[in-house]
Structures are given as structure tokens and as C-alpha cells.
Amino acid sequence: MSRWWTAGQLDRSPEAEALRRLERVIDRIPRVWQQRHVAGDTAIIESDGLILVDSTAAARTLTLPDASLVLGRRFTVKLWTGANNVVVQGSGGQQVDGAANKTWNTAKAAFTFQASVTALPATYGWAIV
């Protein structure tokens, strides 16, 4: 016997609920993110996980992606070598932990940035976690 569904019924159907449960399981599967070494200014891209920065020659600025497009995503930036500043800034003026950017120059220091909703209604930015 075939079933005929209206749009409202489909959202509450057992099949739709099974798909939502499957999506939640898939979301919990760990993803492998790449490690990247940088020695210049760059944009952080979604496939990045750990960015190792060489600031030997000059200060380096890294720009996080638009937080609204990668909500919940984390990126770790580590000053691998050098004594010049590492500056991590948000995209399009998005704040980083309530400030315009995060700046440091301590070798081997690392910070993890997570895309988040920083204020309501729907103000996106970055939290240091």
C-alpha cells in the first residue's frame, strides 16, 4: 500500500525522523582536518585544522572564514617559530573573543578559535576556547 503525504505530515513522518537521527549520527563522526604550515598572510580555509605559523621574517595575519558559514567549527593556530606577532582576525569585521583580533608573539603558544553566535539576534563571531 503506498502512502501519500502532505508537506506537514512529511516533516513528522517516521521516515523524516529517521533521516534527522541519521544526520545527528553523521555530525558526530570525527573529521580529519589538515595541518598547514604558513609563512605569510593567509586566509584560514574550511579544510584547515591546525595552522603552524612561521613569523621569523615578519608579523603574520590570518583571517578566519565567515563564522556564519562554519558555525561550530574550530581552528587551532600555533606560532611555530619566530618572534614577530601572529594576528588572527575575523572575516568582514566579525569579532574574536569580543575584540577586533587576537595577537600574540610567544613561540609555541596556540589558540583554538570556534565559530559561534556571539549575540542575539544572530551576530556571528569567534570564541577562543
In a domain, 16, yes or no: no
In a domain, 56, yes or no: yes
Sheet containing 86-89: give its strands across: 42-43, 60-63, 86-89, 101-104
In a domain, 93, yes or no: yes
In a domain, 79, yes or no: yes
How many folded domains does the chain comprise? 1
Cβ(36)–Cβ(52) under 8 Å?
yes
pTM here is: 0.76
In a domain, 76, yes or no: yes
**96 is in which domain, residue-wise?**
32-128
In a domain, 10, yes or no: no
Walk along the chain (129 residues) and give the pLDDT tens digit of each residue: 455 545 555 566 777 787 888 777 777 666 678 999 999 999 999 889 999 999 999 999 999 999 999 989 999 999 999 999 999 999 999 999 999 999 999 999 999 999 999 888 779 999 999
Q: Is the dihedral of CA 87, 89, 95, 96 positive or negative?
A: negative
CATH number at residue 52: 2.60.120
